[in-house]
Amino acid sequence: MELNKLRQITIQEEILLNHLINISNYSIDQNWKEKIRVKFLNDGNMGSLELFVNDDFDEYRFFGKQISECSFFDSDGVKVIVSLNIDTNGNLFELDIWKTDFSPLIKIPTDISLFHSDLN
């Protein structure tokens, strides 16, 4: 996994991002799927991504706020908490993935019924 290389999102990442955008109360450009590029963040291989849309690859953006979150269980049964964050300009900024035992993420589910918005 190359940390600094921009790439297109995987289908699993797209499904998760789409779910988080849909449950947010935030308006995102309808064409985000065609425009988005991502790169892995150095998080111990838990899967967090920095998000870039509209060919804006500015490395000096800053966290604005969290717009949605959900959780799921990885294939080893460990809970994973995911937050979608925007930057101070209101653009997609980060998909923050935290596997609660800090181990590497095995798999993002493709079945959205496995994503839970209630994090209790």
Tens of pLDDT, residues 60-75: 889 999 999 999 999 9
pLDDT in single tens digits along all 120 residues of the chain? 555 688 999 999 999 999 999 999 899 888 899 899 999 998 888 889 999 986 666 668 899 999 999 999 999 999 999 999 999 989 999 999 999 999 999 999 999 999 998 765
Q: What is the pLDDT of residue 3?
A: 56
What string of DSSP letters covers the chain?
--SS--BPPPHHHHHHHHHHHHHSS----TTHHHH-EEEE-SSSSS--EEEE-TT---S---EEEEEEEEEEE-TTS-EEEEEEEEETTSSEEEEEEEETT-PPP----S-GGG-BS---
User: The whole model's pTM is what?
Assistant: 0.89
Q: What is the pLDDT of residue 2?
A: 54
Q: What is the pLDDT of residue 56?
A: 64
Specify the amino acid at residue 86: I
Q: What is the pLDDT of residue 120?
A: 53
Tens of pLDDT, residues 44-55: 888 899 999 866
Q: Report domain extents, the chain.
A: 11-114
Q: What is the pLDDT of residue 60?
A: 81
Q: Are 97 and 107 in contact (CB under 8 A)?
A: no
The set of residues, in sequence order, having a beta carbon less than 8 Å from that of 6 and lying 6+ positions away, is 37, 38, 39, 52, 57
Distance from C-alpha of 51 to C-alpha of 72, rounded to nearest angstrom:
21
